[in-house]
Structure formats: C-alpha cells, structure tokens
Amino acid sequence: MQSIFADPALAYAGLGRRIVAKIIDWVIVAFLNQTFHYALVGHTPLDRDTFESTIALTAMLFSLAYNGGFLERFGATPGKLLLGIKVVRKDGEPLGTGRAFARPLAEFLNVIICYAGYLFALFDGERRALHDHIAGTRVVLRS
C-alpha cells in the first residue's frame, strides 16, 4: 500500500532489515553497557535497588547518546550502516541535532508499549514506525 505522501525518490527500508539493524545495535549497546557497569558500577558497594536503578538510568542515557550521536553524525547507527540503511527527514535531508536525539527519545515509547510501535511500518506506505511518525523521519536504503 503506497501512501499518497510517499516520496517516490526515496527507497524505504523494509521492517525486516530494520529489525536486524536494531538487534545489531542492541548487542553493541548491551556489550558496551555491561563493560561500563562492570568497570565502574560493579565495584561500587550499592544496595540492590540503587544498583538496579543506576544500571537502568545509565543504560537509557547511553542508548540515547549512542543512537542520537550516530544519527546526528552519520545518519545511521552501526547496525543500520551494516544493513545499508539510513534515517532522513521527509525531504531526504540529514536529521540535524534536534531530530537525531528526538527520534531515540520517541523510540523509548516503543519499550513502554512492548515494541508494538514497530508494527506501524507494516501498514504505512513509507514504512514508518511510531517513533518515525513522532520525529518526522524516514528510514531509507543508502545510495
């Protein structure tokens, strides 16, 4: 189903490719988070609740910095780069700083709704997930 608003010049990335890219990024972020926590937090005597809260907060902040930083600089995270896709604005231009960091913030909403926001891409002519709608982005094949 093609949206009347879809730009025919942009080749939108499919959900499967996006999911594989997301899994690659999750593995990278998890490894880096675990390394960070082991090196810094794991040796600090904290009570269990404080330790778990610290891990959750630093994981969220690291994920935001990872995704936002890579989107701002390269238009794609390492997972997306490996899969040949990038994130752009509606006109195909780079995101800019605000949108690059707003997109992963909007993506946290998917965590709250059990990742159901990704299903939007199955029914959207531009294959946009919920966070793409919120941030005004498109995920396209790199040319």
Tens of pLDDT, residue by residue over 37-68, are: 777 666 666 676 777 787 788 889 999 999 99
- For residue 5, tell me if it sits in a domain: no
**Regions of the chain with pLDDT less than 70:** 1-8, 40-46, 48
Helix, strand and coil content of the chain, in percent to the nearest 5, comes to 65, 10, 30
- For residue 132, tell me if it sits in a domain: yes
- For residue 84, tell me if it sits in a domain: yes
What is the model's pLDDT at position 3?
A: 46
- For residue 4, tell me if it sits in a domain: no
- For residue 53, tell me if it sits in a domain: yes
- For residue 1, tell me if it sits in a domain: no
Cβ-contact 137, 87 below 8 angstroms? yes
Residue that is written with structure tokens 């490719």 in the block:
17
- For residue 37, tell me if it sits in a domain: yes
What is the model's pLDDT at position 21?
A: 96
What is the model's pLDDT at position 4?
A: 43
What is the model's pLDDT at position 44?
A: 64
The residue segments making up the domain with residue 130 are 15-141
- For residue 8, tell me if it sits in a domain: no
Q: In whole angstroms, what is the distance from residue 1 CA to residue 61 CA?
A: 37
Measuring CA to CA, which residue among 131, 101, 99 is closest to residue 115? 131
Question: Residue 31 to residues 9, 25, 26, 62, 105: CA-CA distances in angstroms?
Answer: 37, 10, 8, 11, 21
DSSP 90-138: TTS----HHHHHHHHHHHHHHHHTTTGGGGHHHH-TT---HHHHHHTEE
Its pTM stands at 0.85
What is the model's pLDDT at position 12?
A: 94
Question: Residue 89 to residues 67, 111, 138: CA-CA distances in angstroms?
Answer: 16, 23, 6
What is the model's pLDDT at position 2?
A: 44
Beta strand 85-89 pairing with 137-141: antiparallel
Question: Residue 132 to residues 1, 23, 32, 61: CA-CA distances in angstroms?
Answer: 18, 18, 26, 20
Q: Report the domain count for the chain.
A: 1
